Amino acid sequence: DYHLALLVAKELGIPTVKAVEDDYSKLPSLAVEGKADMVMGGYIPDDSIEGIAWSASYLDFGQCLIVPRGSRIKNIKQLRGKTIGAYEDPAVIKWINDNIPDKKALVTYEGVGWFHHLEKRDVDAIIYDYPFTVEEIKPFSSSLQIAAFNLNDSTYAIGIKQGNDDMRTAVNTALL
């Protein structure tokens, strides 16, 4: 996403990009408060995030199912009565609740290293964005595996403070 931000900035004639890092759930408020111009980092357009308008999509992807190596779980139908882990993302949480209603529990995480919870069997499976999974599963390749791909069709977009139509138009133009 940082490299994409650099390309968008270049297209907009902005010479430098300053990345502002914070917890995923706090990033939209930084844009709303004017402390950041754009919100990136794997955001799925979500109208429930107040004060944010969304750009056009910049990546189509799907969620994937991650399980311990050797697990009998191969698809989401087998998550009945199981505890599922997910990254703290309202759109993903909604998808899980809509598509896996008979789970035992849903536990959400923020920050790095949360795959350890699956490795330690605090949860039975994880639902996560495929693009991020590819990198984040690497340190766990001997103990975890992707069991199912393309659980849904989704998109990433850039969040911009609502009402900043010029910025949103410029970002959409840069993404084309």
- In three-state form (DSSP H/G/I as H, E/B as E, the rest C), the secondary structure along 125-173 is EEEEEHHHHHHHCHHHCCCEEEEECCCCCEEEEEEEECCCHHHHHHHHH
**Widest distance between CA atoms in the chain:** 52
pLDDT of the residue at 159: 96
> Can you tell me the mean pLDDT for 26-39?
93
When pLDDT is cut at 50, 70 and 90, the band that residue 2 belongs to is confident
Please determine, for residue 10, whether its predicted confidence score (pLDDT) is greater than 90: no
Give the DSSP H or E segment for 10.
Answer: helix 2-12
| pLDDT score of 155 more than 80 | yes
| pTM to 2 decimal places | 0.77
Question: pLDDT tier at 24 (50, 70, 90 boundaries)?
Answer: confident
Q: Mean of the pLDDT values across residues 133-157?
A: 94
What pLDDT score was predicted for residue 35? 92
Distance, in Å, from the CA atom of 173 to the CA atom of 88, rounded to the nearest integer, reads 30
126 within 8 A of 115, measured Cβ to Cβ: yes
Q: What is the pLDDT of residue 95?
A: 94
Which whole number is the average pLDDT over 90-113?
92
| pLDDT for 71 | 97
Confidence check: pLDDT of 115 > 90: yes
Q: Indicate whether 112 pLDDT > 80.
A: no
Q: What is the mean pLDDT of residues 124-151?
A: 95
Residue 56 pLDDT greater than 90, yes or no: yes
Helix (H, G, I), strand (E, B) or coil at 40: coil
Q: Inform me whether the pLDDT recorded for 27 exceeds 80.
A: yes
